[in-house]
Each structure stands twice: as structure tokens, then as C-alpha cells.
């Protein structure tokens, strides 16, 4: 495994989380390949293919979510070649909706990465549940 590629993929994983947490939709979309496959069906949110669909989904999150934080951990990268890799990373995601409802979710991301024009991008991201989501009302 080439250390610089590992570090770039690790940073890509963190940028994925950071940009959606800050509702930086265009920067978030840019972590994906133009034809990326982004699957949140296990959570009931749908399947999004390509930048336009991923952008629309990201905007819908920005429109309905007040605060969100992804805590990414335990990234393992496998099958690394000069232009592709796969990986698994776990996340604890906490969100507060604009309605005041809160949710805590544990997620396992199954990712495929590709190097495009010298930059690592996410080509496929599938979200899997590791625990049932915890929903609560904000008591403020």
C-alpha cells in the first residue's frame, strides 16, 4: 500500500463528512466521480447516481437538517492499486432537524475509490446500518 494514496483516501473520507456537515454541497459533490453510485436505501433515503442526483439529495439535507456531525472511525482500505481501492469506515452520525427532532445513527460505509486525473474520488458508497437509529425530541 502506498502511504500517500492511503492518506489521500483517508482525507477524502473525512472531506466527505466535513462538507456535508457544513452543508458545502458543491464541495461534497466533488468528492464523488461524475457517475458515482450513492446508496442510502437501507436507511429509506434512496439511491442516487451521478452528480446531479447526489447534489439534489445533499440540498434536500441542507434544507431540512439544522446540525449534523459525522464522526468517522476505523477506516480500512483494501485492494489498493494505482487507480482503485475499496474500503470500509464506521461512523457515528448525530443530526438535529429543523423541526427540533434529533437522531443518532451508527453507519458502516462500504466504499469503492478511483483515481481520476490524479485525485482520489468516491465511485460507490453504500450505507449499512450497524444499530437501529435512535430518535429523540429536543428538550430545549
Q: Over the stretch 77-116, which tens digit does the pLDDT of each residue have?
A: 999 999 999 999 999 999 999 999 999 999 999 999 999 9
**In this structure, what is the dihedral angle of CA atoms 46, 116, 109, 12, given to the nearest 10 degrees?**
-120
- Return d(Cα 109, Cα 117) in angstroms, integer: 24
User: Apex CA 106: angle with CA 81 and CA 11, to 5°?
Assistant: 35
Q: Rounded to whole angstroms, how far apart are CA atoms 78 and 88? A: 9
Q: Which CATH architecture has domain 3-132?
A: Roll (3.10)
Global pTM? Answer: 0.92
Amino acid at each position: 500500500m502506498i502511504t500517500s494514496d492511503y492518506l489521500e483516501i483517508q482525507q477524502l473520507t473525512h472531506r466527505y463528512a466535513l462538507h456535508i456537515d457544513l452543508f458545502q454541497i458543491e464541495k461534497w459533490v466533488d468528492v464523488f466521480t461524475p457517475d458515482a453510485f450513492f446508496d442510502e436505501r437501507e436507511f429509506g433515503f434512496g439511491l442516487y447516481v451521478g452528480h446531479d442526483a447526489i447534489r439534489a439529495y445533499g440540498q434536500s439535507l441542507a434544507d431540512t437538517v439544522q446540525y449534523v456531525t459525522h464522526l468517522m472511525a476505523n477506516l480500512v482500505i483494501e485492494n489498493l492499486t494505482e487507480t482503485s481501492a475499496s474500503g470500509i469506515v464506521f461512523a457515528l452520525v448525530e443530526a438535529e432537524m429543523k423541526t427540533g427532532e434529533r437522531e443518532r445513527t451508527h453507519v458502516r460505509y462500504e466504499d469503492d475509490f478511483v483515481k481520476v486525473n490524479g485525485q482520489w474520488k468516491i465511485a460507490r458508497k453504500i450505507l449499512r446500518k450497524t444499530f437501529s437509529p435512535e430518535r429523540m425530541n429536543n428538550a430545549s
